[in-house]
């Protein structure tokens, strides 16, 4: 491939067979890829519900921290900064999962805001406090400390986050079209909840010591919550919202009630077990190391579960990606193996790249796959029409393959 060949790719490729072209257009329509997200929707009642709930959540957050911010401001500031960095790492990771027909960053920010302000301060915080108070009066403080959170939070918190997911469906019905979309949106709602809750724990840690030793207390909580956060709200709500989506049969997904119920039930049980891990670990293993061993076992199970749910949820997305790029194979822009890699898991992509002989050729293959995804996005945004953006993306695939400098 020469530089001239790459430049010639600006001309439209040969027409694809009619069946491939029809499947490409169907994939674009079904996935909603390329449809812009508009947050301001004054004619949509769901928009006003979201706005009202967000305002309530912000006011509750300010009210909750306002009175003692002077006494515990150091802990709050430290926790806020640390978990902003922590949240940034999570956002980078979750951004990587938003990979087949990616959601709009504005939509994901809307989901995050619900988790951060509404699901926490406006809903779960108040409801949890009331239920735990009833538990304490009925069963005593010791029992409530061990089992109260595990029997309360899964229902109140997953319910609060799932309500946000339903609101997002009302705001973006043409964008959340697959179970994998639900997985990603749910994860961002859960991440918002997780970051707010982490800051709350830093605040409560400083409060429990009457404001003394705030830096040490904050660091301890930050380290602990960062470690256990690997299996926390982002994971739980990603699984729960995916199950809810299967039950609804929304978008292009058929209704799968049994699968959805099992998935949601697993998220509830996982959440409850995680919140009662200390009591369960002590009960099962009967020693001081019991909680740590138990949490490690549960962590492995939950990570395996979320990977399995993500794989099941992404089947439609992988099919759409394959159908969207299939005409480019006929045109000679992409190879069949490259399209298979683009429509596969990250593991499949890595396996494809490793199958290429030679370090330089593997590097080229990796860049071709990346450029192929950009081409898919350009085709989706143009709804399959030939535009300068599509021509440029097609040229980039051929340029990268040929090793022509940009």
Q: Are 86 and 198 in contact (CB under 8 A)?
A: yes
CA-based R_g, the chain, Å: 24
- Structure token pair of residue 294: 């138990």
What is the rounded CA–CA span in Å between residue 21 and residue 102? 22
Residues 353 and 319 sit within 8 Å (Cβ to Cβ): no
Phi, psi of 13 (to 5 degrees): -75, 170
Within 8 A by CB and 6+ apart from 312, the residues are 179, 259
By the 8 A CB rule, do 323 and 24 touch? yes
In 269-308 the beta strands, taken as DSSP E runs, fall at none
Distance CA 47, CA 312 (A): 31
SS3 of 222, please?
helix
What pLDDT digit, counting tens, does each position of 53-83 carry? 999 999 999 888 776 666 666 666 666 666 6
Tokens of 304: 């395996």
**CA distances to 172, 174, 177, 306, 319 from 251, in Å:** 11, 8, 4, 22, 15
CA distance 325 to 87: 34
> Chain-wide mean pLDDT for the chain?
87
Calculate mean pLDDT across residues 376-397. Answer: 94
In terms of Cα–Cα distance, which of 197, 198, 221, 199 is closest to 209?
221
Of the candidates 305, 328, 174, 337, the one whose C-alpha atom is nearest the C-alpha of residue 239 is 305
CB 168 within 8 A of CB 215: no
Q: What is the pLDDT of residue 5?
A: 45
Task: Give the C-alpha separation, 141 to 17, whole Å.
Answer: 70
pLDDT bracket for residue 387 (50, 70, 90): very high
Q: Is the dihedral of CA 84, 89, 93, 95 positive or negative?
A: positive
Longest CA span, the chain: 80
For residue 228, the model assigns a pLDDT of 73
pLDDT at 248 over 50: yes
Please state which of the ranges 32-41, 206-215, 246-255 shows the lowest mean pLDDT.
Answer: 206-215
pLDDT category at 130 given cuts 50, 70, 90 is: very high
Question: Would you say residue 205 has pLDDT above 80?
Answer: no
Contacts 24+ apart (CB under 8 A), 300-309: 301/270, 302/231, 302/235, 302/270, 302/274, 303/230, 303/231, 303/235, 305/239, 305/266, 305/270, 306/235, 306/238, 306/239, 309/183, 309/238, 309/239, 309/242, 309/263
| C-alpha distances in Å from residue 359, one per residue of 214, 223, 319, 362 | 51, 39, 30, 5
Which residue, 25, 21, 43, is CA-closest to 34? 25
Residue 93 in this model has a pLDDT that exceeds 80? no
What number is the average pLDDT over the span 211-237? 73
Q: Of all residues in the chain, what percent carry a pLDDT higher than 70?
A: 84
pLDDT score, position 373: 92
Mean pLDDT of 18-25: 91
Residue 98 pLDDT level (bands cut at 50, 70, 90): low
Window from 81-90, 125-134, 298-307 with minimum mean pLDDT: 81-90
Give me the residue spans of the domains in the chain. 3-16+331-402, 37-313
Report residue 195's pLDDT band, with 50, 70 and 90 as the boundaries.
Answer: confident
Task: In whole angstroms, give the CA distance from residue 227 to residue 132.
Answer: 26
Among 10-19, 95-104, 244-253, 267-276, top mean pLDDT goes to 267-276
Confidence of residue 266 (pLDDT cuts 50, 70, 90): very high
Give 203's pLDDT tier (boundaries 50, 70, 90): confident
Report CA-CA distances (Å) from 122 to 61, 63, 110, 143, 335: 8, 11, 16, 27, 51
- Reply yes or no on whether the pLDDT at 4 is more than 50: no
pLDDT of residue 7: 42
What would the two tokens of residue 357 be?
């002989």
Going by C-alpha positions, the residue among 127, 94, 71 that lies closest to residue 195 is 94
Residue 1 has pLDDT above 60, yes or no: no
277-296 pLDDT, tens digit per residue, is: 999 999 998 877 888 899 89
pLDDT score at 18: 85
Secondary element (H or E) of residue 199: helix 179-208
Residue 211, φ and ψ in degrees, nearest 5: 85, 0
At CA 76, angle to CA 70 and CA 78, rounded to 5? 125
> What was the pLDDT predicted at 333?
94
Please give the model's pTM, rounded to 2 decimal places.
0.89
pLDDT higher than 90, residue 229: no
- Answer yes or no: is pLDDT of 324 > 50: yes
Percent of the chain beyond pLDDT 90? 61
Q: Which one is predicted more confidently, 355 or 224?
A: 355
Contact 53, 115 (CB under 8 A): no
Instruction: Report how far residue 143's alpha carbon sits from residue 120's, in angstroms, rounded to the nearest whole number.
Output: 24
Confidence of residue 348 (pLDDT cuts 50, 70, 90): confident
More confident residue, 63 or 159: 159
The residue written with tokens 């043409």 in the block is 174
Residue 168 has pLDDT above 60, yes or no: yes
């Amino acid at each position: 491939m020469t530089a001239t060949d790459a430049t010639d790719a600006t001309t439209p490729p040969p027409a694809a067979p009619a069946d491939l072209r029809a499947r490409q257009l169907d994939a674009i329509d079904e996935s909603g890829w390329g449809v812009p997200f508009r947050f301001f929707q004054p004619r949509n009642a769901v928009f006003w519900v979201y706005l009202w709930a967000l305002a309530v959540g912000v006011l509750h957050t300010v009210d909750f921290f306002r009175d003692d911010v002077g006494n515990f401001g150091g802990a709050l500031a430290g926790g806020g900064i640390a978990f902003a960095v922590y949240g940034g790492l999570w956002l980078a990771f979750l951004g990587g999962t938003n990979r087949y027909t990616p959601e709009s960053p504005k939509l994901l920010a809307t989901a995050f805001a619900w988790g951060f302000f509404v699901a926490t301060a406006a809903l779960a915080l108040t409801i949890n406090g009331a239920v735990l108070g009833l538990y304490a009066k009925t069963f005593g403080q010791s029992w409530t400390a061990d089992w109260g959170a595990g029997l309360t939070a899964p229902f109140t918190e997953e319910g609060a986050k799932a309500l946000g997911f339903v609101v997002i469906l009302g705001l973006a019905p043409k964008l959340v079209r697959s179970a994998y979309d639900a997985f990603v949106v749910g994860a961002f709602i859960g991440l918002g909840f997780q970051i707010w809750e982490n800051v709350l724990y830093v605040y409560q840690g400083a409060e429990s010591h009457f404001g003394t030793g705030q830096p040490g207390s904050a660091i301890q909580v930050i380290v602990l919550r960062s470690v256990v956060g690997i299996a926390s709200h982002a994971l739980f709500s990603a699984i729960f919202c995916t199950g809810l989506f299967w039950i609804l049969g929304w978008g292009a997904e058929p209704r799968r009630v049994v699968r959805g119920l099992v998935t949601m039930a697993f998220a509830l049980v996982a959440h409850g077990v995680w919140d009662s891990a200390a009591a369960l670990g002590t009960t099962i293993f009967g020693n001081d190391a019991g909680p740590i061993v138990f949490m490690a076992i549960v962590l492995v199970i939950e990570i395996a579960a979320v990977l399995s749910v993500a794989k099941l949820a992404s089947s439609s997305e992988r099919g759409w990606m394959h159908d969207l790029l299939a005409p480019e194979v006929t045109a000679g822009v992409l190879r069949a193996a490259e399209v298979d890699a683009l429509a596969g898991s990250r593991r499949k992509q890595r396996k494809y790249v490793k199958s290429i002989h030679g370090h330089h050729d593997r590097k080229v293959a990796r860049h071709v796959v990346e450029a192929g995804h950009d081409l898919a996005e350009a085709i989706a945004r143009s709804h399959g029409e030939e535009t300068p953006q599509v021509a440029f993306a097609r040229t980039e695939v051929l340029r990268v393959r040929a090793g022509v400098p940009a």
